[in-house]
Chains A and B, each alone.
Chain A
Amino acid sequence: DVKVTQSSRYLVKRTGEKVFLECVQDMDHENMFWYRQDPGLGLRLIYFSYDVKMKEKGDIPEGYSVSREKKERFSLILESASTNQTSMYLCASRTTDRGTDTQYFGPGTRLTVL
């Protein structure tokens, strides 16, 4: 079974803090994704990475950056957390094997910024 893990289930930070959200997958997937999920807005793509050291902006990248130094790990960074970044953050991974488009999700990190 594919396993995607996220470093924290719940996180509370203060405005202005630098926040790191870590995601690790164990299936040697090339693609990894960060989403945020808010009531009434569904899942919105923040950033994705199609390979090591490769990244591409999603729909809402402002206020976020990412790092992919190793294939299994994809980090989301909030350089200076703000209250409007309080949300559920979901990481996902996907293989690029032909005919396989399924994304595998981690359990999510619920971040509260005070």
Chain B
Amino acid sequence: SQQGEEDPQALSIQEGENATMNCSYKTSINNLQWYRQNSGRGLVHLILIRSNEREKHSGRLRVTLDTSKKSSSLLITASRAADTASYFCATDGQGAQKLVFGQGTRLTINP
């Protein structure tokens, strides 16, 4: 059963602009994570936000979590060509050891 759904499926912006991706999920969670995947490679963990947190920052990344709406957003500020990748949100069920990933947002940064 799919837990996370990302929106949009694809996003293309100019270098220097901000990129926002959204994730919705269905059941209660302990935390929500965002991962990045460069083309043909494995996933790399970016940031984790716990269910009792509303916002978290890491460098140019800003993640928000709204548990009442069961949604999260990932903002990448001042985008760079190297940010071109697919971005996935992943959620865990409370007490579960496994994560459920969404289908991802493919982000393209145009120079």
Contact = CB atoms under 8 A, between A and B. Distances in A.
Interface in B1-15: 1-2
A24 to B, nearest CB: 14
Contacts of A107: 41-42
B44 interface: yes
Interface string A34-50: 01000011110100101
Dominant secondary structure at the B interface: strand
Contacts of A48: 97-98
Contact of A108 (B41, B100, B101): B41
Given A59-B1, A107-B42, A31 B101 contact: no
B45 A41 contact: no
A102 B45 contact: yes
Nearest to A35: B101
A43 B101 CA distance: 6
Contacts of B100: 45
A81 interface: no
Contacts of A59: 1
Interface residues of B, number: 24
A31 B42 contact: no
Nearest to B5: A42
Contacts of A106: 42
B33 interface: yes
Given A101-B99, A103-B45, 7 more contacts: A4-B42, A48-B98, A103-B90, A105-B35, A105-B44, A108-B40, A110-B40
26 contacts: A4-B42, A35-B101, A42-B2, A42-B88, A42-B101, A42-B102, A42-B103, A42-B104, A43-B88, A45-B98, A48-B98, A92-B43, A94-B97, A101-B48, A101-B92, A101-B99, A102-B33, A102-B45, A103-B43, A103-B99, A104-B45, A105-B35, A105-B44, A106-B42, A108-B40, A108-B41
Q: Nearest 5 pairs between A and B by C-beta? A: A105-B42, A42-B103, A43-B101, A105-B43, A102-B45
Interface of A: 4, 31, 33, 35, 40-43, 45, 48, 50, 58-59, 88, 90, 92, 94, 96, 101-108, 110
